[in-house]
Amino acid sequence: MSDTSAPRIATNLDGKVAIVTGAGRGIGRCIARTLANCGAAIACVDVNVAAAEETASLIKADGGQAAAFACDVTDSEQVNSVVDAVIGQYKKLDILVNNAGITRDGLLLRMKDEQWDLVLNVNLRGTFLFTRAAARYLIKAGGARIINIASISGLMGNPGQANYSASKAGVIGFTRTVARELASRQVTVNAVAPGFIATEMAHALGEDTLKQIRERTPLGRLGEPQDVADAVLFLAGPAAGFITGTVLRVDGGLAE
């Protein structure tokens, strides 16, 4: 698995401040490092503060600006406190990346209430809470960006992931609605829908399943975290200023 966090598109984010949730590992860490490598100061948010601090340390080692914040994205008081703390430290907010997400897979007939509730709370409620808390500051920034990490599971469904697919479909609907609400304030709101990405979560599926996924994917491979991070970087930058309410698939052609 590669995680170079070296952006493959030229975007200048000097002077920008970004919150990245779920920044402690995997895709979130790669997004945080990629935005930082292009000049943004990063608020690394994760329920695991040690993981968030590790990401912030990596960014600082690369010469960037970052700080770690512990937060349960399902808790509105914690979310509000983190956003206020970011504003207190950096005095502004330009970019919000709602990346925090979990899976609790299981077939519908065997799925427990707790599995359903937890996935919907983290993936969808967390996106709502952070967007609501950050919006009043993003409006003031001028040309601000909200980027929500959805999934192709939210577009095409996936057996064993009724909860995850529902949560990510909800993120897509939420994205399109908030894009319309904030467009007049020059805040763009978009979603990135990754396919199967080479993270710990994907590798837990086992090699047999991954082989089937590669065979089903027209490009013949799993995505890398950097593939997703580059899509986020594009949507966060000036080149995407006239794009809002859209879903950018990063799936190797898997979704129909």
Q: Where are the domains of the chain?
A: 17-250
Name the phi and psi angles at 153, rounded to 5.
Answer: -65, -30
User: Is 164 tagged catalytic?
Assistant: yes
pLDDT of residue 129: 98
pLDDT above 50: residue 145: yes
**Binning pLDDT at 50, 70 and 90, where does residue 198 land?**
confident
What is the tens place of the pLDDT at every residue in 59-104? 999 999 999 999 999 999 999 999 999 999 999 999 999 999 999 9
Residues 6+ apart with CB under 8 A from 132: none
pLDDT above 70: residue 242: yes
Closest C-alpha to 187, from 148, 217, 156, 228? 148
Residue at 252: amino acid letter = G
pLDDT above 50: residue 1: no
pLDDT of residue 4: 65
Give the integer Cα–Cα distance in Å for 13 and 37: 9
pLDDT of residue 208: 77
Pairing of strands 145-149, 41-46: unpaired
Considering 90, 128, 137, 164, which one is annotated as catalytic?
164
Residue at 51: amino acid letter = A
pLDDT above 50: residue 2: no
CATH superfamily, region 17-250: NAD(P)-binding Rossmann-like Domain (3.40.50.720)
Closest C-alpha to 182, from 147, 215, 208, 153? 147
What is the tens place of the pLDDT at every residue in 93-142? 999 999 999 999 999 999 999 999 999 999 999 999 999 999 999 999 98
